[in-house]
Chains A and B, each alone.
Chain A
């Protein structure tokens, strides 16, 4: 059925901030990001007959953007970055890192909330840096879910993967992001880690505090109000 020129233009301009924002987080050089957006718009216009309905435009054009990004990397022979696009689904079984699990102290509840304090002290730069450190396949799901507010169905459509994979990849990506934030907090002077926990923490960078690792047992025993 396709889409009229006017409707296409309106949709592209309405999504331009998102397209450019996602491209900027995928490409390290701003000029490359701009080229990616331009190439995406050209490809989308050429493929406009494949758009089944206007309501699906956002996921459809982001799929074109992502495919363009992958093909540009392949063309440039960027092996290391490409490898980070190909994820190992076997890692799905790994225990997810969680800042909450590291910090939550039920017995401190009435006078302290360390994990919320950690969030309060997180700066925009901390989050930017952590997001940029994620492998591509993790970064893109976090961007689409948390920055662009895509549903799992839209992410699945945009990346050409099943919804179940979106769900598991997003969980792993968030675990990886939290691990980076946790390590950053240590590496940059522990600014976001409350003093009580800094004193208690004897482990190296990123080492989970084993005492809090058994999430389920601890929660079921000690946390019911």
Chain B
């Protein structure tokens, strides 16, 4: 069976879905074949992926004690 190939235009349309792990298995494999042969699309995917990681680093996991105490009291009152 012939493996489907895509051009840059389609790869760029799907770049965020690729970075967000939202492509299905077959689409992801097709995208990765393209990225292995196209340095520009590979660089774009790497850029978007790194920016996503940097944004993810903004997340703060621990609310301050005041918020936690208030919500804990609220939950106890239910």
Contact = CB atoms under 8 A, between A and B. Distances in A.
Interface residues of A, number: 53
B54 interface: yes
Nearest to A45: B78
A119 interface: yes
A142 B37 contact: no
Contacts of A9: 75
Given A104-B40, A216-B12, A12 B62 contact: no
Contacts of B9: 216, 220
Interface stretch (A73-81, A147-155, A201-209): A147-155
A187 to B, nearest CB: 19
Contact of A119 (B8, B51, B61, B63): B51
Contact of B41 (A119, A151, A223): A223
A5 B67 CA distance: 20
A21 B72 CA distance: 17
B50 A119 contact: yes
B39 A20 contact: no
A176 interface: no
Interface string B1-14: 00000011100100
23 contacts: A8-B78, A13-B72, A13-B75, A17-B60, A18-B61, A41-B75, A100-B43, A100-B44, A104-B40, A115-B43, A116-B47, A119-B54, A124-B58, A127-B55, A127-B58, A128-B58, A142-B55, A146-B56, A147-B56, A167-B22, A216-B8, A220-B8, A225-B37
Interface of B: 7-9, 12, 16-17, 20, 22, 37-41, 43-44, 46-48, 50-52, 54-63, 66-68, 70-72, 74-75, 78
